[in-house]
Amino acid sequence: MNTEINLFRTEVAFMAVSLLIADRDPEECRGIKWFAEHTPVDFVTIASAVSESDLIRRLHEQTYQMIILELDMFPGGVPDSVLSRIHAFPSVQIIATSAEATYEKAREALSLKALDLLIKPHSVTRLQALLSKGVRESRASLEEKHPEQDQNSTYDYKHLFTIEEGLPEPRAAAAFTSSSPDDVEALKDIVRSQLTGKHTSVLVMSSFVICLTEKIPDSLLADCRNIIDTFHEQTGGAAAGVVYTPESPRSAKIVYGQIKDMLHMPFYEGYHQLFSYTEPPEWKKTDPFLTPSEQREWIDMLIHGFTDQIKDWLYEHFLHMKKPYPEPKLVRTRLTSVLAQVRRYMRTYHLDTVENESAYQELYEDILSGPNVYKIVQNLHLFIQATIERVRRHQVALDPVERGILYMESRYWDPELTLEKVSTEAGRNPFYFSDQLSKVTGSGFRALLTSIRIREAKRLLTDHSLTIKEVAAGCGFHSPNYFSRKFKEKEGMSPKEYRKSAGISKEKELSYADKTSR
């Protein structure tokens, strides 16, 4: 059994690159992981560690070809227990990171033979370049150490990533995945028992199994359906398969990239079924982020507790989609944009406690990696319902000024928001509410409302797709000129100057969607 596991790990190391992200900040790990998953670099696995003990455990679990290592995790320098394990890995490539641009950190990076030392916050362009460089060097080294793979197979792992002259194009391909990545071992055994020996090369990835064949067996579709049924009978889990018979010849590398893309279909249509294609499916292009009007719509639904309306919105935008579907990564990003509105709602009502935070993080992870959009949306809706109910219980204990401020926070975008409307929501007359508001906050109603609007404008200004006029309207200002004047009074610069000084590009927003959505 150990021999088989070691062989499997060797295959994984040869076919692609595994990445380990070691950083004390969980959000930093999630941001880099999200970025790595959405770059052209094809990582077979991406793991993270947030402490020294966590890192050591990860290093003993499997072999990694690339490690992003935060040097600040070790105040006294990287310990020998970590160094010895890292350097035991063949062809390991290291990217060192630190918040300190000092000679000592540079020396540590050099001693590790790191590709580079990245100073936080990371440059997106530089990080992508280093990831690509690390993968190239790791694969080149592995090819030197493993010039040949299985002599009995037409295709091996290197053919999935490089084009080899004289290699016959596969006539057909099949790929299988399950709703749980932990089931890949069981899936591998079933696929190999069904398809090995039928002119088929079976290659195992981190979360799916791919098969390439020079000839199309007459029983290919029947065998693939039997694999799915057998997997369910033996494990109780749900698998999905894709059979791809290209209409025109193409390399193993191209077939691999296309069939891997087809494995996204269960995200929309579910598992325990077989999909068949002669050409790769098309994906619809769409903007994954909520528009300012959609953000206001969500604020309105949340503040009024419109759970039925929220359910209808989620179903319409995520469960009633028709082909061609958007790329799943865009749908996941859009779901995180919705979750960001819920997050702001929670913080507005001071619900970001340890218990609620744990449930939020679990849901966030589900959105990023959950196997099926239907289950993700169901979990999101249940979380929102529970959050709204907690807010209702919390509101009973709020005093009138707190209720009024929360109402202003939720309705700042309304240009017709007045003291009278807010005081009515707080259950007090305007004069009493205004007096109490000044005593509690030190600001009058108009000054406080303007501060809230300017704060939200600063957030919207980081979205370069919005014009200054759109930002002004989205924050409740009647005219862009009045907005610019008020903004400069408070911030000492115009909105345009602020946007330029912030230096936040759309590229960076996409790369670190998690952090910018919180």
What is the count of structural domains for the chain?
Answer: 4
Claim to verify: residue 268 and residue 299 sit in the same structural domain: no
Claim to verify: residue 190 and residue 136 sit in the same structural domain: no
Claim to verify: residue 380 and residue 460 sit in the same structural domain: no
The last residue of one of the domains, among 395, 414, 440, is 395
Q: What is the pLDDT of residue 320?
A: 93
Q: What is the pLDDT of residue 142?
A: 54
Residue appearing with tokens 């000092």: 102
Helix axes 124-145, 26-37, angle to 10 degrees: 70
The tokens describing 187, both together, are 């899936």
Claim to verify: residue 9 and residue 141 sit in the same structural domain: yes
More confident residue, 508 or 135: 135
For range 393-418, the mean pLDDT: 84
What's the pTM? Answer: 0.64
Secondary element (H or E) of residue 97: strand 93-98
Chain centre to alpha carbon of residue 279 = 28
**Cβ atoms within 10 Å of 287's Cβ, excluding its own:** 12
Look at residue 459 and tell me if it is in a domain: yes
- DSSP sequence for 316-344: IIIIS--SSPBPHHHHHHHHHHHHHHHHH
Tell me: the pLDDT tens digits for 8-32? 333 433 446 789 999 999 888 988 9
360 has a pLDDT exceeding 70: yes
The tokens describing 280, both together, are 């790769």
Claim to verify: residue 32 and residue 131 sit in the same structural domain: yes
Residue 127 CB partners (closer than 8 Å, separation 6+): 32, 35, 95, 118
Claim to verify: residue 387 and residue 410 sit in the same structural domain: no
Which region among 243-257, 316-330, 500-514 has the lowest average model confidence (pLDDT)? 500-514
Asked if 92 and 82 count as a contact pair (C-beta separation under 8 A), the reply is no
Claim to verify: residue 236 and residue 337 sit in the same structural domain: no
Claim to verify: residue 234 and residue 128 sit in the same structural domain: no
Look at residue 11 and tell me if it is in a domain: yes
Look at residue 337 and tell me if it is in a domain: yes
Tell me: the pLDDT tens digits for 76-93? 888 887 888 887 776 789
Q: What is the pLDDT of residue 395?
A: 66
Supply the CATH number for residue 436's domain. 1.10.10.60
Buried b or exposed e, range 348-377, using 16+ CB within 10 angstroms: bbebeeeebeeebeebbebbbebbbbeebb
Claim to verify: residue 6 and residue 140 sit in the same structural domain: yes
Tell me: the pLDDT tens digits for 200-227? 788 888 778 999 998 887 788 999 999 9
Residues facing 458 on adjacent strands: none
- Candidates 304, 306, 314, 325; CA nearest to 379 is 314
Supply the CATH number for residue 198's domain. 3.30.70.270
Print the domain residue range for 225.
157-277
* Per-residue pLDDT band at 421 (split at 50, 70, 90): very high
Q: What is the pLDDT of residue 511?
A: 39
Tell me: the pLDDT tens digits for 316-356? 999 999 999 999 989 999 999 999 899 888 887 778 777 78
7 has a pLDDT exceeding 60: no
Look at residue 214 and tell me if it is in a domain: yes
Taken in order 118, 122, 126, 130, the sign of the CA dihedral is positive
The last residue of one of the domains, among 124, 145, 166, is 145
The last residue of one of the domains, among 395, 424, 453, is 395
Task: Please tell me the distance from the alpha carbon of residue 474 to that of residue 462, in angstroms, as a whole number.
Answer: 14
Tell me: the pLDDT tens digits for 432-444? 999 999 999 999 9
Asked if 408 and 449 count as a contact pair (C-beta separation under 8 A), the reply is yes
What is the chain's alpha carbon radius of gyration, rounded to the nearest angstrom? 27
Q: What is the pLDDT of residue 399?
A: 83
Claim to verify: residue 11 and residue 117 sit in the same structural domain: yes
- Candidates 428, 496, 429, 421; CA nearest to 458 is 496
Look at residue 284 and tell me if it is in a domain: no
* Per-residue pLDDT band at 5 (split at 50, 70, 90): very low
Chain centre to alpha carbon of residue 78 = 29
Task: Please tell me the distance from the alpha carbon of residue 374 to that of residue 268, in angstroms, as a whole number.
Answer: 7
Claim to verify: residue 7 and residue 140 sit in the same structural domain: yes
Secondary element (H or E) of residue 188: helix 184-195
